[in-house]
Amino acid sequence: MNQYAKASAPTGAVICDLRSDTVTRPDAAMRAAMAAAEVGDDVTGDDPTVARLEITLAERLGKEAGLFLPSGTQSNLVAMLSHCGRGEEVITGRGYHVFKYEAGGASVLGGIVMDPLEVAADGGLEPAAISAAVKEDDSHHPVSRLLSLENTHNGKAVSLARIERAVTAGRAAGLALHLDGARLFNAATALRRDADEVTAPFDTVSVCLSKGLGAPVGSVLLGPVEFIARARRWRKMLGGGLRQAGVLAAAGLHALEHHVTGLAADHARAEALAGILRGLGAGAVEQDSNMVFFTPDSPVNARLGAHLAKQGVLIAAGYAGPIRMVLHRDVTDEALWAVQNGLTEFYG
Ligand SMILES: *Cc1c(COP(=O)(O)O)cnc(C)c1O
């Protein structure tokens, strides 16, 4: 499955965009917060709003320090470069973003080896597989250095017990622990836990502000002070040092303050959409947190995508296999009715 499958172009106004939760647009209140932001040159450490975002999220997630970055991909890349040297290894999941959807950046730019493991049905990794993947100290092998997990994975909120078992296996082998928490707050919401309980087992965490939280740009990498100092140099080297970034950080702060509680409503709408799809009896339906996966019984993907596009509903339908539909704060109940109408018409 490619979660970035191409969508059909809409022919009129877009009523509902389910391609991803990255399509959210900053609302008036967020734009006002951005316009009012105090700023400075963040490369020289002079932007008070960026500093406030980094400190706020570090405190909220129980880590020492934070670093604002332009994207989640750069945040994960900087994390892996800061954890691992050339010829050192990241153990992760075959379907996890750091392995599958970041263009192999850690290997291309850092000479870092990736050992991808099968991801279990619940989105976690098997502790025994982690232990078996750790290489012994032998000149034939790369040096196993980091275990990188993901939560949520394909919408699945991996349970704390499950994470704990994987982390224990990693720690026993002396690995550092990184969490790709692009949708950390969706995970915490789905697990009914505080976000810092989800991040507690990890040395470092990457969080996206530009997905369900609704900010236009930005991720934050959290970890120990000396780690974040190294990460700051890598960010500069990769071209991620931004100047008056406080206008962006203000959007992130606004999102953290006002948009986290709304994630539960996105999850409820995802459940409602799953119910609608199940009612059609036209394929397999899976739903976790803000994501719905619909696998049509017959390969109608492209036709369904084109039909919905005519109704102003965008999905990334691809040509076959599961269709991912993602709920987010710009999908209203009215928008969901447009989806229901479009689906009923197609299958009616
Ligand atoms: C989106 C995503 C990223 C990367 O974020 P970008 O801002 O798109 O670069 C990393 N990990 C996961 C799990 C994601 O879903």
Span 82-99, pLDDT tens digits: 999 999 999 999 999 999
pLDDT band at 2 (very low <50, low <70, confident <90, very high): low
pLDDT band at 12 (very low <50, low <70, confident <90, very high): confident
Peptide bond into 22 cis (omega under 30): no
Cα–Cα distance, 280 to 345 (Å, whole number): 11
pLDDT at 10 over 80: no
Judgement on whether residues 187 and 331 belong to the same structural domain of the protein: no
CA-nearest residue, atom 15 of ligand 1: 182
Judgement on whether residues 236 and 271 belong to the same structural domain of the protein: no
Judgement on whether residues 203 and 134 belong to the same structural domain of the protein: yes
Q: Which atom of ligand 1 is nearest to the CA of 211?
A: 1
3-state secondary structure of 252: helix
Judgement on whether residues 100 and 215 belong to the same structural domain of the protein: yes
Residue 123 tokens, joined: 């989105």
Taking the centre of ligand 1 as the mean of its atom positions, its distance from the CA of residue 219, in whole angstroms, is 9
pLDDT at 6 over 80: no
Judgement on whether residues 211 and 318 belong to the same structural domain of the protein: no
**C-alpha pair distances (Å), 199 with each of 19, 52, 111, 181, 204:** 27, 20, 27, 8, 8
Strand partners, 21: none
Place of tokens 């870092």: 112
CATH code: domain of residue 177: 3.40.640.10
Judgement on whether residues 312 and 193 belong to the same structural domain of the protein: no
Asked, for residue 3, whether it belongs to a domain, the answer is no
Judgement on whether residues 61 and 143 belong to the same structural domain of the protein: yes
* 176: enclosing H helix or E strand: strand 176-181
CA-nearest residue, atom 3 of ligand 1: 72
Q: Ligand 1: which residues within 6 Å by Cβ?
A: 71-73, 76, 97, 150, 180, 182, 208, 210, 219
Counting ligand 1 atoms within 8 A of each CB, the residue from 208, 209, 211 with the most, and so the one to mutate, is 208
pLDDT at 268 over 70: yes
Cα–Cα distance, 173 to 127 (Å, whole number): 11
pLDDT at 121: 97
Tally of domains in the chain: 2
Taking the centre of ligand 1 as the mean of its atom positions, its distance from the CA of residue 205, in whole angstroms, is 13
pLDDT at 338: 93
Strand partners, 204: 178
Asked, for residue 158, whether it belongs to a domain, the answer is yes
Residue 306 domain boundaries = 16-25+262-347
Of 203, 204, 245, 226, the residue nearest 71 (C-alpha)? 245
Summarised one tens digit per residue, pLDDT across range 282-329 is: 999 999 999 999 999 998 999 999 999 999 999 999 999 999 999 999
pLDDT band at 4 (very low <50, low <70, confident <90, very high): confident
Strand partners, 148: 178
Picking from 239, 259, 279, the residue at the C-terminal end of a domain is 259
Summarised one tens digit per residue, pLDDT across range 152-184 is: 999 999 999 999 999 999 999 999 999 999 999
107 vs 12, which has greater pLDDT? 107
pLDDT at 243 over 80: yes
Q: What is the mean pLDDT of the chain?
A: 96
Taking the centre of ligand 1 as the mean of its atom positions, its distance from the CA of residue 72, in whole angstroms, is 5
Mean pLDDT value across residues 135-142: 97
> Residues near 180 by Cβ (< 8 Å), separated by ≥ 6?
72, 76, 96, 97, 98, 148, 149, 150, 151, 206
Cα–Cα distance, 291 to 305 (Å, whole number): 17
Asked, for residue 5, whether it belongs to a domain, the answer is no
Judgement on whether residues 182 and 290 belong to the same structural domain of the protein: no
Terminal alpha carbon distance of the chain: 27
Strand bridging mode 65-69 / 219-223: antiparallel
Taking the centre of ligand 1 as the mean of its atom positions, its distance from the CA of residue 71, in whole angstroms, is 7
What is the pTM assigned to this prediction? 0.97
Taking the centre of ligand 1 as the mean of its atom positions, its distance from the CA of residue 292, in whole angstroms, is 18
CA-nearest residue, atom 5 of ligand 1: 72
How many CA atoms lie less than 13 Å away from 8 in the CB half-sphere? 21
